[in-house]
Amino acid sequence: MDRIRIVGGRHLNGTIPISGAKNAALPLMIASLLTPETVTLKNVPNLADVSLLIRILRNHGTDAAFDGKRANGHVHQGDTIHFTARDIVDTTAPYDLVRRMRASFWVLGPLLAREGKARVSLPGGCAIGTRPVDLHLTGLQALGADIKLDGGYVVASAPGGLKGGVVRFPKISVGATHNVLMAATLAKGEVVIENAACEPEVVDVAACLSKMGAKIEGAGTPTIHIQGVDELEGATHTVLPDRIETGTYAMAVAAAGGDVTLEGARGDLLPGVLDLLRNAGVEIAETNRGIRVTRNGAALRPVTVETEPFPGFPTDLQAQLMALMCRADGISEIRETIFENRFMHVSELTRLGADIEVKGDMARVKGVPRLHGAEVMATDLRASVSLVIAGLMAEGETMVNRVYHLDRGFERLEEKLGSCGAEIERLHS
């Protein structure tokens, strides 16, 4: 199993290109199931989750064709992939595939909308809480789907097609919003989604669906209106830049010190994050190339924050911020309101010398003068990269084990950081 070795204390200087957003690319790929025509996606990141989803889509009959080299092409460009689901050959998404990645459960809505039936395994993914799928199921039931649970599978049917209706989510769910939004495009009549997720990735998926002929209004607001159509067509769409990767590298620069331009990054995708970093003493400037992040060695100021749906502080950056605040001059308080089990990185950060106290959903981080390198274990995707950030600050060598989590969400992380001066390398088992 691969490991990542880091020797801390090196400043970062240069340019890091920001990849396409994984959290947009995955639902965009799944949306190709809604039409027999070709959907071309540009700027798709080369990640383990993308490769796994291609396997799942091919299981349903989708052809995925790459432009040029399969992967590791030009460092500034993601892949261009053409998805063609001319015929759905299988409406079952098996446990062996779905258990590895939670987002693969989202094939349920498109398969049900297009074929009138679907059998999809209950999902797996990172161990950061139970994350039940009840909102997905009640949302599709509101559109007329008949849903049963059988042997760990969701068995859904709508022989006469999905119909218009009102879906009222009791709480905000990005995944459920994606699933119902995609299914609603082929429903008979109007669908209204209330308390919908407002994340930029939802807006990006809605934009692509609109290019395919869907009639959608209100994406990016809590109420989305969809007028169902009989069929969708092909389209070409460019995946938006990854705001979580942007925030992660901004915090890496803040941790290590230096001056780095995050090429292609968009400040409007993470306004709360940039403001928080500015308040912590990090210099942030938006330019025509992206976002420039600078810290010249001045002390970091502590912060108080809680994770929230967009435009609030994202849960996917909570672990990275906690790592950064380990060296702040004072006490930071970080409240996790989205997932109930997302502090698993705390015990690993303490191995590096961090002073963190957790009570319920609150972590109290007392900044320390220095961190010390150690061997640590990654527990999930975002926890993994928080350990990398801590390693950049720590004295001596840090070894991060189980980095397969990183490959699910960060493209060429060690290459991007290494090109800016970090002493970091991947060790193959």
Residue labelled with tokens 């995609």: 182
142 and 231 in a single domain? The answer is yes
By the 8 A CB rule, do 300 and 324 touch? yes
pTM given for the model: 0.94
pLDDT given at position 298 = 84
Give 40's strand partners: 82, 236
Q: From CA 406, how far away is CA 400, in angstroms rounded?
A: 10
Mean pLDDT by groups of 10 residues along the chain of 429 residues? 95 98 98 98 95 96 85 63 98 92 93 98 58 88 96 94 97 96 98 98 98 98 98 98 98 98 97 95 97 93 96 95 98 90 88 96 97 92 90 97 89 96 94
* pLDDT tens profile 243-282: 999 999 999 999 999 999 999 999 999 989 999 999 999 9
Question: Is 180 annotated as ligand-binding?
Answer: no
405 and 298 in a single domain? The answer is yes
Rg (CA), the chain: 21
Give 193's strand partners: 167, 224
Of 215, 238, 261, the residue at which a domain comes to its end is 238
Question: Is 361 annotated as ligand-binding?
Answer: no
227 and 305 in a single domain? The answer is no
Question: Is 50 annotated as ligand-binding?
Answer: no
CATH number at residue 207: 3.65.10.10
11 and 56 in a single domain? The answer is no
199 and 86 in a single domain? The answer is yes
Of 195, 215, 238, the residue at which a domain comes to its end is 238
By the 8 A CB rule, do 156 and 92 touch? no
By the 8 A CB rule, do 336 and 315 touch? yes
The C-alpha angle with vertex 135 and arms to 134 and 137, in degrees rounded to 5, equals: 65
By the 8 A CB rule, do 155 and 119 touch? yes
* pLDDT tens profile 157-204: 999 999 999 999 999 999 999 999 999 999 999 999 999 999 999 999
Question: Is 329 annotated as ligand-binding?
Answer: no
Between 318-325 and 243-256, two packed helices, what is the crossing angle to 10 degrees? 10
293 and 316 in a single domain? The answer is yes
Question: Is 229 annotated as ligand-binding?
Answer: no
Q: How many domains does the chain have?
A: 2
Q: From CA 219, how far away is CA 160, in angstroms rounded?
A: 27
pLDDT given at position 344 = 87
pLDDT given at position 123 = 83
Question: Is 159 annotated as ligand-binding?
Answer: no
119 and 209 in a single domain? The answer is yes
pLDDT given at position 69 = 55
78 and 135 in a single domain? The answer is yes
46 and 15 in a single domain? The answer is no
Question: Is 416 annotated as ligand-binding?
Answer: no
- Boundaries of domain holding 419: 3-19+241-427
By the 8 A CB rule, do 120 and 154 touch? yes
pLDDT given at position 192 = 98
Question: Is 94 annotated as ligand-binding?
Answer: no
Catalytic status, residue 208: no
pLDDT given at position 341 = 67
339 and 222 in a single domain? The answer is no
Distance of CA 165 to the CA centre of its chain: 29
Residues in contact with 268: Cβ distance below 8 Å, sequence separation at least 6, in sequence order: none
Q: From CA 329, how far away is CA 300, in angstroms rounded?
A: 6
41 and 144 in a single domain? The answer is yes
The C-alpha angle with vertex 76 and arms to 72 and 78, in degrees rounded to 5, equals: 60
Neighbours of 308 (CB within 10 A): 15
* pLDDT tens profile 290-313: 999 999 978 999 999 999 999 999
176 and 32 in a single domain? The answer is yes
Of 238, 261, 289, the residue at which a domain comes to its end is 238
Question: Is 102 annotated as ligand-binding?
Answer: yes
